[in-house]
Amino acid sequence: MKIFFAFIFFFITYNFAFAESKWLYSSGNYEGHKHSIHKQINENNISNLNITWKFNSKKISGRNVVQTTPIYVDNKVIIADISGAIYALNPKNGLEIWNVKLNPPAARRGITAISGKNPKIYISTKKYVIELDARNGNILKKFKSGLSLLPPIIDENKLFVATLKNGVKAFDLNNGELLWEFSLKKNNVKPRIWSGFSYDKITKSLFIVTSNPGGLYGGDRLKEDLSISLISINSNSGKKNWHFQHIRHDLWDFDLVGSPMIFSIYENNNSIRVVAALSKTGDVIYLKVKDGSLVFPNGIKKNYPSRSDVSGEQTASFQYTFSKPQPFSGISVDLENDFNHLDKIKHKKLFKIISKGKSGLYTPPSFNYNLILYGLHGGAEWPGGSYIEKDHSIIVPFNKDPWVIRMEYKDYIFLFFKKISKEILKIKLSINKIYNKFFDSSATNLVMNSKKNSEILNPWDKSNPSDSISQTLFSLVPYGGGNNFYSMNCKSCHGVGREGYYENEKQGDKYVPSLVGFNLKNNNDKSLLFNLIKKNHNDLDIKFEYDEKYTIEMLENFEKYDNFLNKFNLLKINGFWQALLDENGNPATTPPWGGIAKINLKDGSLKWKIPFGNRLDENKKIISKGDKSFGGVLTTSSDIFFATGTPDEMARAFLSKDGKLIWERKLPFAGSAPPMSYNYKGCQYVVFTATGGQFVGFKDNGDATVAYKLDDCEN
């Protein structure tokens, strides 16, 4: 009898463990926990954790990376590549079982599956959610959802999709019929859903986090909207239960990010459901699922920021600041002390930016100063955090690299020419195609290549093929900037339309200011402006040896044209941000530039905070302990967690209790998605998506999925 009960116990335990090992959603579960129940790998044996298989898709696309955490279903590891293909891999050795080619961005930030006799996989794409047979990869069904970057959610006979631009939709899982739609549009503002989608089956509540409403100038969106919000939606009706807006009238791009984490806590001996969302500002939005009320109502207060000096802009009357849960990072830069490690002469360009800089909590952008902040790529980023049920805490990777926000004017006439230039280019390419079809293509290519090589390219130009067309068209406009002096001396840097140039976060920090609206930003005497322009150039070691008379004549022509644009509402106000780098291309502020934090949600306290990753110079010397990351974390039931995503291309493990580093291994490329874990025939595996990084500071991109297990575990 004892043997019989022992067998029954073993059978139940084994099947429970096998069921739990199924990782059917890229976040581990619909509650966004990114937590593995497996605990075979622990502090005592992790030194024996080494690579057991690696899969390469052989698909790489520029600076794009795979941001998909694999799933585990039907005894298969399911992954995506950058080209839109889905693969099923053998869980023991990583060998391909099947693959299906879909269109990018298929499974951009995750995959969903259901198990059972007929296991199925669900992939979000540009137009559809596609249902695949997990056994062979055959396409079974398509749900016409529109573009979604996030994995769908399934409950009973419903499929829920968070689309990028058109809200949340529910479909009948059996016949594909649209059941309901929830729109985010309010007062002509329609924020995006790009990083967070979770579900609480107990309360039938869907949760999304929303983005900036679109741009850093808000003069055309002064009413209430649903941007930068945590929103709860009734999954049965599609009606909004409640929403909490973290940032009002956002002017900084401080999105809420990552999948909201849902769990239960005890309050007055009663179990209640709660949800935690993360922000780029380093705040934890911690609310009750039932009504959206604060778990710590005394941990929030109103902050009254300074007013904007930009024409037509109105900053929000207040913003929230949080003390409980304690923030894991912040956005304010100490302009006096955060750059003390740099030599002012060597970093002349940087300190010129800082000398005109301003920082502070919710300080609005301005034409009159450079707004310098942390937060645009963190605090938290799209991978979000991980929840540990054992002590009701969350582990959150965060970034602390500096950014500068600038305001500029854009010329609507020039923008119009840029738009039609793209259409002209399409026609030109179509004609070339027809010509090549009927005539000698080699002769045509010779003529085209000869023409291309004879052109003098703008040194700032990243060579958009339609730019030369728009510049040719705009040069015909009789405006002040089109005179001979500007064309000969200024156009090569500032552009034919005075539009200027700046590199984005994937390229660097090169910047040439726009001269559109110059007189509106500088109402000084023209002689003073001449001296200012000369000084600005000379400060950056750019020779300015031009005659004052011709320069002033050019400025007067600018003024006439800008007044014309302003009179007829042809000036567009635009804000943009750039990475603030030193002369070596590193974040300009004092390290660390990123870390990992643990927040206890029982009492809202910050338990610990550690630097994460090492920035290395060209000689492999550590120049920063703590770097930015875009990979994510995975917690486990053995009280350790795995983390990846730093430019040093390492996978690491830490103790959950204190953040102590206990293991690290070099990946083929930087981790680019949160890790996952599964159990196959008694062995625990940890899998990393390693395809590199998109931004300045990262090395080459690649195509690897890498699995680790203990050396002494045989299956």
Is 447 in the same domain as 565? yes
In a domain, 619, yes or no: yes
Q: How many structural domains are present in the chain? A: 2
In a domain, 235, yes or no: yes
Is 603 in the same domain as 573? no
In a domain, 658, yes or no: yes
pLDDT at 602: 95
Helices (H) and strands (E) in the chain, counts: 10, 42
Classify residue 20 as exposed, middle or buried by CB count within 10 Å of its CB (0-12, 13-18, 19+).
middle
CB atoms within 10 A of CB 312: 11
Is 664 in the same domain as 524? no
Is 598 in the same domain as 449? no
In a domain, 397, yes or no: yes
Is 434 in the same domain as 366? no
Longest dimension (CA), the chain: 106
Q: Strands of 661-666's sheet, edge to edge? A: 35-36, 632-636, 640-644, 650-655, 661-666
Query: How many alpha carbons fall within 13 Å on the CB side of residue 544?
Result: 18
Is 114 in the same domain as 220? yes
- Reported as a single tens digit per residue, the pLDDT across 167-190 is 999 999 999 999 999 999 999 999
Is 299 in the same domain as 175? yes
pTM over 0.85: yes
Residues 144, 130: Cα–Cα separation, whole Å: 9
Contacts of 444 (CB under 8 A, 6+ apart): 432, 435, 436
The residues facing 709 across adjacent strands are: 50
pLDDT at 456: 31
Share of the chain above pLDDT 70, in %: 92
Pick the last residue of a domain from 552, 579, 606: 579
| Averaged pLDDT, 521-545 | 84
What is the domain extent for residue 337? Answer: 23-401+584-710
In a domain, 4, yes or no: no
Q: Which two tokens stand for residue 176?
A: 């594909």
In a domain, 207, yes or no: yes
**Look-up: residue for tokens 């990376």?**
65
- Distance (Å) of CA 169 to CA 49, 163, 177, 178, 226: 42, 8, 11, 7, 17
Is 674 in the same domain as 602? yes
What is the average pLDDT score of the chain? Answer: 91
Pick the last residue of a domain from 579, 597, 624: 579
In a domain, 6, yes or no: no
Strands, E, within 269-311: which ranges?
A: 270-279, 284-288, 300-303
CATH of residue 381's domain is: 2.140.10.10
Residues 671, 613: Cα–Cα separation, whole Å: 12
Higher-scoring residue by pLDDT: 42, 20: 42
- Reported as a single tens digit per residue, the pLDDT across 25-41 is 999 999 999 999 999 99
pLDDT at 440: 54
Is 603 in the same domain as 687? yes
- Reported as a single tens digit per residue, the pLDDT across 455-503 is 333 444 445 677 778 777 887 776 644 577 888 888 888 988 899 999 9
The DSSP-derived string for 628-641 is ---SEEEEETTSEE
Is 464 in the same domain as 570? yes
Pick the last residue of a domain from 564, 579, 594: 579
Single-letter residue type at 192: R
Is 499 in the same domain as 609? no
Higher-scoring residue by pLDDT: 393, 424: 393
Q: Which two tokens stand for residue 119?
A: 């296991």
Residues 314, 292: Cα–Cα separation, whole Å: 28
Residues 51, 28: Cα–Cα separation, whole Å: 22
Residues 287/267, Cβ–Cβ less than 8 Å: no
The helix/strand/coil state of 136 is coil
Instruction: Report the candidate in 376, 220, 411 with the shortest Cα–Cα distance to residue 310.
Output: 220
In a domain, 5, yes or no: no
Is 571 in the same domain as 656? no
Instruction: Report the candidate in 467, 553, 552, 569 with the shortest Cα–Cα distance to residue 517.
Output: 569
pLDDT at 22 exceeding the cut of 90: no
